[in-house]
């Protein structure tokens, strides 16, 4: 795992789920742009109540920055092309919400 900071836009809506022990957590997807203009998807999971609430308060396309543990991986699209992705356990969030 790597400690990292990711900034991007929420892709879709964050979703609250419940684990087998009955404890809530939140999952979300963030679309971030790389230095060369490519799009990188970050699969986010959060357990901290304040981070979960902040993620669920955002709307699709809202800007945010997250810090946490990152694990790099690859996925294959429908055309068979492999692409990079990141899995993140979010520990902190920074987001600006319009009033």
What is the structure's pLDDT at 87? 96
What is the structure's pLDDT at 83? 84
Its pTM stands at: 0.87
What is the structure's pLDDT at 95? 80
- Give the CATH number for residue 60: 2.40.50.140
Q: Is residue 42 packed enough to be buried (19+ CB in 10 Å), middle (13-18) or exposed (0-12)?
A: buried
Which among 2, 73, 82, 16 is positioned nearest to 47, based on CA atoms? 16
Please give the tally of structural domains in the chain. 1
Q: Which domain holds residue 20?
A: 2-95
- For residue 1, give the 3-state DSSP assignment: coil
pLDDT band at 98 (very low <50, low <70, confident <90, very high): low
CA contacts within 13 A on the Cβ side of 14: 26
* Strand 82-95 to 63-76 pairing: antiparallel
- Cα end-to-end distance, the chain, whole Å: 36
Over residues 70-89, the pLDDT tens digits come to 999 998 989 999 888 899 99
């Amino acid at each position: 795992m790597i400690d990292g900071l990711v900034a991007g836009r929420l892709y879709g809506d964050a979703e609250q789920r419940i684990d087998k022990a009955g404890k809530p957590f939140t999952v979300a997807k963030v679309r971030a742009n790389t230095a060369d203009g490519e799009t990188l998807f970050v699969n986010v999971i959060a357990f901290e109540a304040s981070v979960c609430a902040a993620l669920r308060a955002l709307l699709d396309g809202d800007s945010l920055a997250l810090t946490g543990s990152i694990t790099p991986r690859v996925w294959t699209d429908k055309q068979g092309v492999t692409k990079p992705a990141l899995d993140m356990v979010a520990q902190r969030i920074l987001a600006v919400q319009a009033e």
